[in-house]
């Protein structure tokens, strides 16, 4: 007899991480090329001597520190094993198989997966011609079945970002019983002052009596802790409490907690590193535009090349030049901004592409 599992999961696609090719430059996973700071490495090493003990299940010290940093009460914060896990927990906390999740497409490829795992339906809303989120179409897509909307800002993989008036216009159209999740995994790379700080926006909404806005952030990108998996959510007390209820016990490990705290201690240095990434992002985009590529303005630590049917050929061309990009066949290629020399290698490959 074969063990019976959910039949609807047979067609569920697996999450596809960026490839790692020995000897090649990896610009496929939106990691920061520079490693963790020495002070963070020391904190991790010191904490490693106590890994025979369970971590703090409440992530107490980190939650308190984030509360001070964000000026958000601790009962409105939840920490998880990376923000992607919080995405799944939010769907679990709001949806059953009778409900629906709305998100743009193409956007973060985990959204359809975490939605399907819960058994909820999904409504994918096409991007605009400029590769951005179409907030009016997303608002139109909300039905009586909708329980959650993911708003990825800046959007992954296109890097495009919504302005404050667009976010406000969208939220104003969302029913009060539908949760809007502003996913800000790349917030620290935003340099456009018209792109709102999601936490500050959410606090204004909460103060006005709207508790249906939540914000996700992560230590994986700007803080260089992708390998340790720690992210956090700011939400209404009810949503944050429910998130904590559906979390897997001890899922934020002890090393991740210590590393996140040490990274906050060194935040000024890490954010200076982000500014270097932003400068390189502008340079890479400018040179790609000069080479004839279409590249939408990015507010993340990557750029997007909407190559459509040429994507596969471009991917193979870059691999032949020992550069690994993230190809989404039929749509385009996402290229992480690395160190200047890594970016130069990618640009050389891109300029020689004739496909």
| Total-model pTM | 0.95
Structure tokens at 230: 């720690």
Helix 110-118, helix 83-94: angle, nearest 10: 40
pLDDT of residue 109: 95
pLDDT digits (tens, 9 = 90+) for 279-327: 999 999 999 999 999 999 999 999 999 999 999 999 999 999 999 999 9
Residue with tokens 């004739």: 354
Closest-CA residue to 80 (of 253, 215, 321, 210): 253
Assign domain 15-36+268-351 to a CATH class.
Answer: alpha beta
Q: What is the pLDDT of residue 1?
A: 61
**Cβ-based neighbours of 340, under 8 Å, separated by 6 or more:** 280
Q: What is the pLDDT of residue 15?
A: 65
Look up residue 63 and give its two tokens: 């939650």
Per-residue pLDDT, 34: 87
**In the chain, where does the domain assigned CATH 3.90.1150.10 lie?**
15-36+268-351
Q: CA of 106: how far to CAs of 123, 155, 195, 250, 331, in Å?
A: 12, 9, 20, 33, 8
The stretches in the chain having pLDDT less than 50 are none
Question: What local confidence, expressed as pLDDT, does residue 6 receive?
Answer: 79
Q: What is the pLDDT of residues 165-187, one digit of tens each?
A: 999 999 999 999 999 999 999 99
Q: Are 82 and 229 in contact (CB under 8 A)?
A: yes
Residue 123 is predicted with a pLDDT of 98
* Pair of tokens at residue 158: 């296109």
Residues 14-39 pLDDT 10s: 766 666 777 899 999 999 998 889 99
State how far the alpha carbon of 247 is from the alpha carbons of 25, 88, 89, 99, 151, in Å. Answer: 36, 10, 7, 20, 22
CATH of domain 38-265: 3.40.640.10
């Amino acid at each position: 007899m074969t063990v019976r599992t959910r039949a609807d999961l047979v067609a569920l696609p697996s999450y596809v991480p960026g490839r790692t090719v020995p000897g090649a430059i990896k610009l496929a996973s939106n990691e920061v090329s520079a490693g963790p700071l020495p002070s963070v490495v020391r904190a991790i090493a010191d904490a490693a001597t106590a890994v025979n003990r369970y971590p703090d299940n409440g992530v107490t010290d980190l939650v308190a520190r984030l509360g001070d940093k964000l000026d958000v009460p601790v009962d409105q914060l939840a920490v998880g094993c990376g923000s992607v896990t919080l995405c799944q927990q939010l769907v679990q906390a709001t949806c059953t198989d009778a409900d629906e999740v709305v998100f743009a497409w193409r956007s973060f490829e985990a959204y359809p997966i975490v939605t399907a795992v819960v058994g909820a339906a999904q409504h994918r809303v096409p991007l605009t011609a400029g590769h951005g989120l179409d907030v009016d179409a997303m608002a139109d897509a909300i039905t009586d079945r909708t329980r959650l909307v993911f708003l990825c800002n800046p959007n992954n993989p296109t890097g495009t970002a919504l302005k404050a008036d667009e976010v406000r216009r969208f939220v104003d159209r969302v029913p009060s019983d539908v949760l809007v999740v502003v996913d800000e995994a790349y917030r620290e790379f935003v340099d456009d002052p018209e792109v709102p700080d999601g936490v500050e926006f959410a606090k204004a909404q909460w103060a006005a009596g709207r508790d249906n806005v939540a914000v996700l952030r992560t230590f994986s990108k700007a803080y260089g802790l992708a390998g340790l998996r720690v992210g956090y959510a700011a939400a209404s007390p009810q949503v944050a409490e429910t998130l904590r209820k559906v979390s897997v016990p001890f899922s934020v490990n002890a090393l991740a907690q210590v590393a996140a705290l040490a990274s906050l201690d060194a935040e000024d240095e890490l954010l200076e590193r982000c500014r270097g990434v932003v400068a390189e992002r502008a340079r890479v985009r400018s040179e790609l535009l000069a080479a004839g590529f279409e590249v939408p303005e990015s507010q993340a630590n990557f750029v997007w090349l909407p190559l459509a049917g040429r994507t596969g050929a471009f991917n193979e061309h870059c691999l032949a030049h020992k550069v690994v990009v993230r190809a989404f066949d039929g749509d385009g290629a996402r290229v992480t901004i690395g160190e200047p020399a890594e970016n130069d290698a990618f640009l050389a490959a891109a300029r020689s592409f004739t496909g």
